[in-house]
Amino acid sequence: DSSRPELLQTGPMMAMIEEQLGEHFIVHRLDRDGAAEMLAEAGPRIRAVATGVGSTAGGANRVTEALLARLPQVEIVANFGVGYDAVDVQAAAARGIVVTNTPGVLDDEVADLSIGLLLATVRRIPQADRFLRAGQWPKGPFPFSPTLRDRTIGIVGMGRIGQAIARRLAGFGRPVAYHSRRPVEGLPYPHYPALLDLAAAVDVLIVIVPGGPETDRMINAPVLAALGPTGILINVARGSVVDEPSLIDALQSGTIAAAGLDVFADEPNVPEALIAMDNVVLLPHVASATHVTRNAMGQLVVDNLLAWRDGREPLTPVPETPPSVRG
Ligand code: NDP
């Protein structure tokens, strides 16, 4: 069937994606028995890749340079998620392969969850829920919590989602400052060119930068020390952005007060030390995980692939790769 290009799917995806991929493409699965034989046989004919959340533990669901080397005809890698740190975008760019992601459609959802995680961490909402369920209330009231009322909020990464978080914080009457490599024109919040200076100036850090080598462990021991003993860290970006052992030390030693984490260094494995702590709120990478938003992301994955198949420019190519049009 020459009208259906051959496509490699690296791991499980939502049913609404898989149904449409099956309709428009001949789909090969990398997460099935016999994948090595499949790659050897079909790899030379595969022209598109669909990848992203639904990832297997241990990073197996990555589009590496080695995998791309098995796919000499591939023209597009469509990633489910705005973060595409699991795709070797430099290797793709070097071969003229376009990489697409799912920006924009999840900004408000992720910003909502970020605010929820901030409030949950500061006001100890999950801890209070556990207290009630454990039958503690009749024995006395839940201890007072820290407050958001006296805090300045530092946002690390002031892109689409960072700005949606900042807009929400205005409604809470809290001052916002931010760090990114370049200031964003037209924003009213103070910009800190140095992350350490931002950490020293604020009482909360909300991290929402991309993952990958540029931001690897940028939230390290000196940054946490600068944030200080009443400081709170919220990470909704990627686990790689935080030096997890240093964060555990900082939480155990009182270098910072608390943390709210949606992402971890080795998902879905979460360090026992974090699980054992009472001053952390832990979420299983759910910032965009609602029916409506995941469906919008899924449709954008499919629509990028269909645009490419029809010889149109993909809708949302990432900045590192050219929007290639199928020849
Ligand atoms: P954008 O590209 O719109 O914004 C990224 C921001 O990070 C920009 O302000 C950019 O500014 C800044 N940034 C990038 N690199 C660095 C660096 N090395 N040092 C400091 N700042 C940096 O991305 P989005 O807002 O759409 O998404 C951000 C990330 O959030 C995604 O890449 C994804 O990993 C994560 N995410 C997590 C989700 C979850 O489920 N927890 C859901 C959705 C997104 P500048 O280039 O000037 O430095």
For 204-241, what is each residue's pLDDT tens digit? 999 999 999 999 999 999 999 999 999 999 999 999 99
Two tokens, residue 73: 């005809």
- Does 285 qualify as catalytic in the annotation? yes
Two tokens, residue 199: 């950490």
Taking CB atoms and a 6 Å cutoff, what residues make up the pocket around ligand 1?
82-83, 103, 106, 110, 157-162, 180-182, 208-211, 214-215, 236-238, 262-263, 285, 287-288
Two tokens, residue 129: 């829920």
* Percent of the chain's residues with pLDDT above 70: 95
Task: Judge whether residue 60 has pLDDT over 70.
Answer: no
- Does 130 qualify as catalytic in the annotation? no
Task: Judge whether residue 274 has pLDDT over 70.
Answer: yes
pLDDT band at 188 (very low <50, low <70, confident <90, very high): very high
Cβ atoms < 10 Å from Cβ of 182: 8
- Does 213 sit behind a cis peptide bond, omega within 30 degrees of 0 on the bond before it? no
pLDDT band at 3 (very low <50, low <70, confident <90, very high): confident
Q: Is 25 helix (H, G, I), strand (E, B) or coil?
A: coil
Higher pLDDT, 201 or 59: 201
For 68-80, what is each residue's pLDDT tens digit? 999 999 999 999 9
Cα 277 to averaged position of ligand 1 atoms, centre (Å): 28
Cα–Cα–Cα angle for 261, 298, 94, nearest 5°?
A: 85
pLDDT for position 327? 41
pTM: 0.96
Cα 236 to averaged position of ligand 1 atoms, centre (Å): 10
Q: Is 235 helix (H, G, I), strand (E, B) or coil?
A: strand
- Does 217 qualify as catalytic in the annotation? no
Burial of 91 (0-12, 13-18, 19+ CB in 10 A): middle
pLDDT band at 322 (very low <50, low <70, confident <90, very high): confident
For 105-149, what is each residue's pLDDT tens digit? 999 999 999 999 999 999 999 999 999 999 999 999 999 999 999
Alpha-carbon Rg for the chain in angstroms = 22
pLDDT for position 277? 98
